[in-house]
Amino acid sequence: MILSGRAISTGEVRGTVAKVDDRVSFLGDVDPETGLVFGEKKIKDSIFVFPEGKGSTVGSYVIYQLKKNGTGPKGIINRKTETIVASGAIISDIPLVDDIDIDLIEDGDMVHIDGAKGEVDILDVDVVDVVTAFLVRDDSLLLFKRSDDVRTFKGKWAGVSGYLEKNDPLQQAKIEINEETDLESELLAEGETVLARSGKNIWRVHPYLFSVEGEPELDRENEKYEWVRPEKIKSRDTVPKLWEAYESARWSYENQD
């Protein structure tokens, strides 16, 4: 799965991800002698993934010292790179790409960085296309709790969803609505695709917004349903990136010509 970002420091490298979820100050959080971050995460010869840097400009020279000591990473991936990390990577000849959705990268992944193109290739993952249809009535959104009969995300809240098979996404969304709810629906909008990571799968979600009337007739895929205010998605135990998928479809609807 190739992710396109912004090229910061050139070069190509492949390696195993060492990821932390917090911002990193190379002066203080990283030991240049051992290559340990926060006293526990080893980054030697890794692809070091973290959201962004912080702290003193001396951090650039700590990155250089890591390189000289042979305790530093092969490459760096950020959500957002600031000047300290960018300067350190450049003077140390460490490939660096930012503007990457690091939620799609997990600790231990094998990845390839192309620093000139600003690309990150996550190796050994499967990309799975699915559709998610959000059904609305007045100001309410229909959420479904997935049953134990489904293969994935048992017990999670979701929209009407299904694997993209031989049909185009819109056709598949209409099929899923018919099979899972038996409701008449009217298309309101198609959102931009959303990527979500779960295990070795990256789900490419094709989101749609439909208006409906009446109450659904549930099939075996869902055990219950609720009409809720859309923002309630954020407080539910949902399938990955459900709120982002809804926001994508809603934005498209509100910004139609």
Q: Which residues pair with 144 in a beta bridge?
A: 158, 225
| Closest listed residue to residue 113, CA positions, set 51, 47, 52, 67 | 47
Residues with catalytic roles: 56
Taking a C-beta distance cutoff of 8 angstroms, is the pair 19, 122 a contact?
Answer: no
> Which amino acid makes up residue 6?
R
